[in-house]
Amino acid sequence: MNKIERIQQWLQDNNYDIAYLNDPISVNYFTGYQTDPIERVLGLFVFPNADPFLFVPQLEVEASKKAGWNKEVYGYLDHEDPFKIISKHIMERLDLAPKNWAIEKFSLPVSRMESILVHFPDSQFVGDVSKYMEKTKLIKTPEEIALLQAAGKEADYAFSLGFQAIKEGKTEQEVVAEIEYGLMKKGVMHTSFDTIVQGGANAANPHGGPEKTPLKRDELILFDLGTVHQGYMSDASRTVAFGKPSAKSLEIYKVCLEAQLTAQAAVKPGITAAEIDKIARDIIKKAGYGEYFIHRTGHGIGTSDHEFPSIMEGNDLVLQPGMCFSIEPGIYIPGVAGVRIEDCVAVTETSSLSFTSTSKELTYID
């Protein structure tokens, strides 16, 4: 069964009349067509016993066909009512108005659900395609893992660019510029999120961005970055020493590294996501820094940077070969320093395979 046949089977099994996929990542998964029409309407409509159709803004009709989608595609112009056109094409495929809908509840805005209700007032939104996609995407195929490895190699290259760019007085933002320029010159046009370079105490704000702050010697510098390779994402973090950081900074690095290495070494089929989180967290707690590790140990990765499984307390999911996720403990002491060390890995038959290979031993840059 191909991907479309599998979701059709799921619709049949659950007595759903129709599935409406609106998330560009899901649409790409089924059609091979990558787009993000922002506020314009995008949809893949799948039926248990009729041909699916793709619906895009008119100016994307040709591109979607060129990308390899060989079923019907319909477009709409900006001044037209997209849901009126969608309804018409739905009724070309069904004898009765669809009642039991499966929608992507994690991404479909309420307004679009209401647009459906205008045309099909008896609709019930009983199925959740988001959950179907989560499950479908949880175990990666060998081909997908190869793409994640390729993305990981790009992240390794990005680290090398970043480490080379470190120089006293250069700002965090200038280092980001060197990384992204170097990537683009190799044809890597998209990062999976805004590249993070943070020196010293700035790094204690784990979701902050790079500032116009000049880098200072004798501090730690945190890098968190990722690229997009044929739709698959990398995400990795390294923290390096510029000169001779304080004893405190070196101590939290050591603790964080032990947590990262131990948790990553524990990954194998049969262990749970929560157990991996606990291994990393216990090491940091025991060293006295538990209160400074304020996020989960990891998140899934694939065609999005944050997907399932979550490596966190309470997630008793048993790891299986093909699951892919980050292991990224961090210690953030406000006003002092922040450390995060992160690889993304795939679970193998016996342990795990890392997508990035930049050394995790503390790198000293002079």
The stretch among 108-116, 140-148, 228-236, 247-255 that binds a copy of itself (CB under 8 A) is 108-116
Measured in whole angstroms, how far is the alpha carbon of residue 338 from the centre of its chain? 23
For every residue of 256-281, DSSP letters joined together read HHHHHHHHHHH--TTSBHHHHHHHHH
Q: Which of 310, 326, 356, 358 binds a copy of itself (CB under 8 A)?
A: 310
- Which one of the spans 122-130, 144-152, 252-260, 318-326 is the region binding a copy of itself (CB under 8 A)? 122-130
The residue from 294, 320, 351, 364 that contacts a copy of itself (CB under 8 A) is 294
User: How many residues make contact with a copy of itself (CB under 8 A)?
Assistant: 57
**What does the per-residue mask of binding to a copy of itself show for 30-59, with x meaning CB under 8 A?**
-----x-xxx-----------------xxx
Half-sphere exposure for 143 (CA within 13 Å, toward CB) = 3
Q: Which is nearer to a copy of itself, 208 or 288 (CB)?
A: 208
Q: With binding defined as CB under 8 A, does residue 174 bind a copy of itself?
A: yes
Taking the complex as a whole, how short is the minimal distance between the CB of residue 95 and a copy of itself, in angstroms?
Answer: 27
- In angstroms, the first-to-last Cα distance of the chain is 56
The reply on whether position 118 binds a copy of itself by CB under 8 A is no
Q: Is 164 in the site for a copy of itself (CB under 8 A)?
A: no
Among 210, 302, 309, 329, binds a copy of itself (CB under 8 A): 210
Q: Does 218 bind a copy of itself (CB under 8 A)?
A: no
When binding is defined by CB under 8 A, the residue of 106, 122, 146, 244 that contacts a copy of itself is: 106
Separation of alpha carbons 323 and 345, rounded Å: 8
List CB contacts of 148: < 8 A, sequence separation 6 or more: 140, 229, 232, 233, 234, 301, 302, 324, 344, 346, 355
Which one-letter amino acid corresponds to residue 198? Q
Please tell me the distance from the alpha carbon of residue 276 to that of residue 280, in angstroms, as a whole number. 7
Q: Are 203 and 239 in contact (CB under 8 A)?
A: yes
Q: How far is the CB of 77 from a copy of itself (least distance, A)?
A: 7
Q: Does the protein bind a copy of itself through residue 291 (CB under 8 A)?
A: no
Q: Does 74 bind a copy of itself (CB under 8 A)?
A: no
Whole-number CA gyration radius for the chain = 23
Calpha distance 29→48 (Å, rounded):
18
Does the footprint of a copy of itself cover residue 363 (CB under 8 A)?
A: no
Q: If you ran DSSP here, which 8-state letter would residue 303 be given?
A: S
Residue from 306, 333, 354, 365 in contact with a copy of itself (CB under 8 A): 306
CB neighbour list of residue 29: distance below 8 Å, 6 or more residues apart: 3, 133, 137, 303
**CA angle, corner 34, sides to 30 and 38, nearest 5?**
115
Query: Which residues of the chain form contacts with a copy of itself (CB under 8 A)?
Result: 35, 37-39, 57-60, 62-63, 77-79, 103, 105-111, 113-114, 125, 128, 130, 173-174, 176-177, 180-181, 184-185, 187, 189-190, 194, 205-210, 212, 294-296, 305-306, 310, 312-315, 332, 334
